Every structure is written in structure tokens, then in C-alpha cells.
Structure 1
Amino acid sequence: MRSSPSIVPHDADRDTYLVLNDFGRLGRAWCEADEEGTDRETLIRRFLADQFSHPVRIVAFNTAEGWSRDVTVDIADELRRRFPEYDEVPLSVQKFLEIAARR
């Protein structure tokens, strides 16, 4: 029996993080990000640079390893740990932490 080729890119053995953002009346959508901008460290930097208006959930996955999970609370904890490095924390991040605390 012939198997189908994988749709997973050859260099996909890395964790990818996506942010679900609430755009109010427009609804919720996964935020666009270039492939190189979906790692954990870049995600944290984007949060602290106030690049998400109203993030409500973060999902991570690794197609090569075959897993996915909700990492909203993990990222919220990481953001809290990094607060001392920043003078001001964006309002969007503060609201995200309130959402994550209810999970």
C-alpha cells in the first residue's frame, strides 16, 4: 500500500506558538505571524512590545512530534516573571493576565 507524502515541512521540528485575539465586533481570529516569528521567545517579546490588542488564548504545537496544547497559563506565568525587566507593562498584557488567571 502506498502512503501519502507528509505535508509537514522538513524543518518543522520546532514548537510553534499562535495567539487568538479578540477583535470585538469583528470576532476572534488567530493573529498572523511569519514563520520565523512563532517561537516562544519572539512571542514573549511581541507581547511586551504591545503587538496584540486583546489576546485571549495561546496554542503551541509541534507537527514533527505530533502534539498541541493550550499554553495560555504558561505564557502568562512567563510574562509575570519578566515584569521586573520592564518599566511599564502594556495594558493589553495586563488584561491578558487577568484572562489567564481565570483558567
Structure 2
Amino acid sequence: MRRTGGIPSIVPSIDQTVYLIADDFGPIGRAWREADLEATDLEVHPGPDGREYADPIRVIGFNTAERWSEDVSEDVAREIQRRCDLQQTEVPARLLGFIDRHIGDRRQLSLRLV
């Protein structure tokens, strides 16, 4: 960690894009899920404690070296839907609310061949 004026920095010192997932735990509240540095990519997988995300709300991507941060929830929702479509599987139940919030209609559109 870098130090600024004697205080350790919480900002990653490497040029890496990090993704954090906000999760809704119902009656006990909402929180940003902690993840290992190696696990903060765009893969949606169980949290560090081995449990799946309860109800993901939002995904924020940031890169301190490039000085940007952005809500990438819609991009992630579309990628989840794309992968499920390619595998011809249903979106996992735990991700349905996330997909609905960020891209709405999940029906796969077919192209009409003329």
C-alpha cells in the first residue's frame, strides 16, 4: 500500500480495473461485497465466503490509475444474459432481479430470415 502523509492508502497501486458488487441482504441491509483482488473481474461467482450473492443491486467498475469509475450494471446484466442465451440456459434465479432492473425484458429476440 502507498502512504500519503503517514496514512496507508486504500487505493490499489496497480493499473487494474476493479469491479465491486452491491448486494441486498433483505432485512439486514445492503453492503458492498468484499472480494479477493484476483476475483474482482467481471465474472459473477460466489462471494469470498463461498456463498452466492443474495440479490445483486449494482456493479461499479473503477481504475484509479486511469482515474475513472462507472456504473457498469447494465453491461454486466447484458453479458450475463448473453452467456445464458449462448448456453441455452435460464438466468439463475438469484440474478433475475438484477437483470430485470438493468435491462428489463429478458426474452431472446430471434431474427427473421427473409
Shorter-chain TM range is: 0.7 to 0.9
**Which digits, 9 at most, give the CA deviation of each residue in 1:8-67, with x for residues without a partner?**
444x20110000001111111001111110012xx23x17xx821100100000011111
Superposition deviation, residue 87 in structure 1: 3.1
The answer to whether residue 16 in structure 2 is matched with residue 14 in structure 1 is: yes
2:64 is aligned to 63
The runs of 5 or more residues in structure 2 that have no matched partner are 105-114
The runs of 5 or more residues in structure 1 that have no matched partner are none
How high is the TM-score relative to the length of structure 1?
A: 0.77
Tell me the matched-pair count.
93
Superposition deviation, residue 101 in structure 1: 2.6
* Structure-2 separation of matches of 1:38 and 1:71: 13
RMSD (CA atoms)? 2.2
How many percent of aligned residue pairs carry the same amino acid?
A: 41
Bigger Rg, structure 1 or 2: 2
How high is the TM-score relative to the length of structure 2?
A: 0.70
Structure scoring higher RCO (CA < 8 A, sep ≥ 6) equals 1
Question: Per residue, is there more helix in 1 or in 2?
Answer: 1
